Amino acid sequence: MNISPLQTARYEYMPKLPGMLRNGISEICVKEGNDTQSVADQEKIAALFPNTYGKKEITFEKGANTSVSKKQAVGVILSGGQAPGGHNVVCGLYDALKATDKENVLYGFKGGPSGLLEDSYIEFDDAYINMFRNTGGFDIIGSGRTKLETEEQFAVAAEVCKKHGITAIVIIGGDDSNTNAAVLAEYMAAHNTGVQVIGCPKTIDGDLKNEDIEISFGFDTATKTYSELIGNIERDCNSAKKYWHFIKVMGRSASHVALECALETQPNICLISEEVEAKKMSLSQIADQIADAVEKRAAKGMNFGVAVIPEGVVEFVPEFKALIAEINELLAGAKADEFNALASWEEKYAFIENGLSGDAMAVFAILPQNIQQQLFLERDPHGNVQVSLIESEKLFAAMVADKLAQRKAAGTYKGKFSAQYHFFGYEGRCAFPSNFDADYCYSLGYNAFMLIQYGFTGYLSKVSNLSRPAEEWIAGGMPITKMMNMERRHGEDKPVIRKALVELDGAPFRYFEERRDTWAVETCYTFPGAIQYFGPASVCDITTRTLALEKGMLK
């Protein structure tokens, strides 16, 4: 038997729907809002989406269901990295579909978008669905990173849909997947396939966020999990009083995850990649900033601390970005063979010194040797440096140690510095979804079916007012094209949903900025503890501090 006590208990949890969806399927009607237009490049995007552009925003209300009765066969796809709550999107979708008509069927395409192309699927039934209610992971059907974006793929998808009589596809994914959902919806409409396409906003990274998406699902649970661990480490650090912990957290390019964790745990240091880029900070400046905190705390007798580092930060350091570009160039094609043929690191170092510009070499030279070696020895199949593998938590700790050694020699620093390293990512992507994510995801799925049932396509399942109790949430749909602009990608102009980075004039960053100097020097740690599913609402049902700040509910 391998069902844990918590999983057994979570099967009993009934996710909370927005008030307007709580009256049963027969009591859900549509309220049309205004026509929409894309956030930028309206003409270009309208031209690319002649069948799906400019549609109205809609919300659901309590009222007689006026949708046309027809048998629905819906296919659902999980796309990209795992995020807690994905299973509940599927469960909500299934429940609304079956509540509408027991004859309706839900297919799950296996292993991500490729499941649709390869016609690899399962048909859900109650017994199978019930094993996944309120659980983490994407193992219900698996996920994958194939992108659905070419005409050839769309034609295959249309064939598969036709074969099974599929009336709608729900794509659960991040910014790219929802962009592709909109393009697929347009294709399906243009070719009169009768297949609708609905997107659902997923990503723990928090970078799929805009006027219409208050939060992507999974961000709440993942940041709570990382914050639990950071808080535990802070408590350990403040008890043992002998280590500086350097903690890298996932989140790709954006620093939303790091910032939310900092708001939850009040560490001594949290780097924000977007600020590093805006201020054009060098590695040395960042190391000096951390070393300043170490020195000030040491002067107060506190030779310990916690520094949170967003996964993508090194790519935002202009000089480091330039170095990476030069290294990729230096090892392009056959030059890599010449490099690889060199036997010793000393010979390789000489090769590097000879090949890099003076500026790039100056940056390279200050890196610790293990990082230098990582840059040259671990490259992807295209020969490029794998930036995501760079152990930036060790990089900054080593550079801070160097700074402190200099300061010690200069007599300004008299403390002890000993570092520990952590990287949290996989630990949070498949946690049991928090009550918030369980409710939000179930609502997204339930709502997605209502959009299908009312005939909408190219829409995002939209649930908003999320900083309030679920009763007050607003369910509806927004044309995905509304969120789009044109961006240059791989040498082409493409319609895409803009990735949301941390805004330096936004409330979450400003809150952090106002307090961080105090947090750096004092010990203001906060210990969120493990995610709770059963306790008081103040502990179990509150979503992120980022959202609370964005909504002005926290000052």
Least distance from C-beta 412 to a copy of itself, angstroms? 25
Which of 305, 314, 528, 548 forms a contact with a copy of itself (CB under 8 A)?
Answer: 528
Residue 25-64 contact track with a copy of itself, rule CB under 8 A, x = bound: ----------------------------------------
Least distance from C-beta 334 to a copy of itself, angstroms? 25
Region binding a copy of itself by CB under 8 A among candidate stretches 38-46, 180-188, 331-339, 530-538: 530-538
Least distance from C-beta 492 to a copy of itself, angstroms? 29
**In Å, what is the CA distance from 207 to each residue of 77, 204, 247, 257?**
20, 8, 20, 9
Region binding a copy of itself by CB under 8 A among candidate stretches 50-58, 90-98, 278-286, 424-432: 424-432
Residues annotated as catalytic (active site), given as ranges: 205
Residue 69 near a copy of itself by CB under 8 A: no
**Between 410 and 537, whose beta carbon lies closer to a copy of itself?**
537
Q: Is 178 exposed, middle or buried (0-12, 13-18, 19+ CB in 10 A)?
A: buried
User: Where does 72-111 have alpha helices with state H?
Assistant: 86-100
**In Å, what is the CA distance from 252 to each residue of 11, 425, 500?**
32, 10, 12
Q: Cα dihedral sign for 299, 303, 306, 307? A: positive
Least distance from C-beta 241 to a copy of itself, angstroms? 6
Distance CA 7, CA 377 (A): 43
Which of 34, 66, 239, 354 forms a contact with a copy of itself (CB under 8 A)?
Answer: 239
Residue 308 near a copy of itself by CB under 8 A: no
> Residue 277, Cα to own-chain centre: how many angstroms?
20
Residue 317-346 contact track with a copy of itself, rule CB under 8 A, x = bound: ---------------------------xxx
Residue 246-285 contact track with a copy of itself, rule CB under 8 A, x = bound: ------------------x-x-------------------
Q: Are 328 and 291 in contact (CB under 8 A)?
A: no
Size of the site for a copy of itself (CB under 8 A): 64
Least distance from C-beta 403 to a copy of itself, angstroms? 20
**Between 386 and 412, whose beta carbon lies closer to a copy of itself?**
386
Distance CA 321, CA 385 (A): 11
Distance CA 377, CA 539 (A): 46
What would the two tokens of residue 550 be? Answer: 């964005």
Residue type, 48: L
Residue 538 near a copy of itself by CB under 8 A: yes
Distance CA 272, CA 292 (A): 17
CB atoms within 10 A of CB 490: 5
Q: Is 193 exposed, middle or buried (0-12, 13-18, 19+ CB in 10 A)?
A: middle
Q: Is 175 exposed, middle or buried (0-12, 13-18, 19+ CB in 10 A)?
A: buried
Residues near a copy of itself (CB under 8 A) are: 2-10, 81-82, 111, 135-139, 142-143, 225, 228-229, 231-233, 235-241, 245, 264, 266, 344-346, 370, 420, 422, 426-432, 524-536, 538-539, 542
